[in-house]
Amino acid sequence: MKKIYFIVLTLLIGLYIINDVRRNRFSIKESIYWIFGVGIMLFLAVFPQCIDGIATFLGISYPPSLLFVICIIFLILINFRNSKKIVILQEEVIELEQNITILKGNKK
């Protein structure tokens, strides 16, 4: 029963992401990472014993902690990527402000 619950939950998350992309609330480029994450979640929901094997291979004594580590790493990478994009957008805003100031100065 637990297995079906996690499979349905994962599919609902995937459908939510696809629906947001379809309605142009989320870009296709950004959604690829989340769809990849949903794919991993679906794989682990169907084959939960894999996490035990991976944890044993990595020497982790408590397998559920591996899930937390994977999620934390995934979220840190997405946060880092978004931070880089914010810096680029801030630089573009400054450049646009400077261009507008120059254009306004030329009109006077």
Angle at 69 between CA 65 and CA 73, to 5 degrees: 170
Mean pLDDT of 89-107: 91
Q: How far apart are CA 14 and CA 82, in angstroms?
A: 21
pLDDT of residue 1: 66
Q: Can you count the helices (H) and strands (E) in the chain?
A: 4, 0
What percentage of the chain has pLDDT greater than the value 70?
97
Mean pLDDT of 84-95: 96
33 pLDDT band (50/70/90 cuts)? confident
Two structure tokens written together for 63: 């397998």
Two structure tokens written together for 101: 């100031």
Q: Which pTM was predicted? A: 0.69
Q: Which amino acid is at 14?
A: G
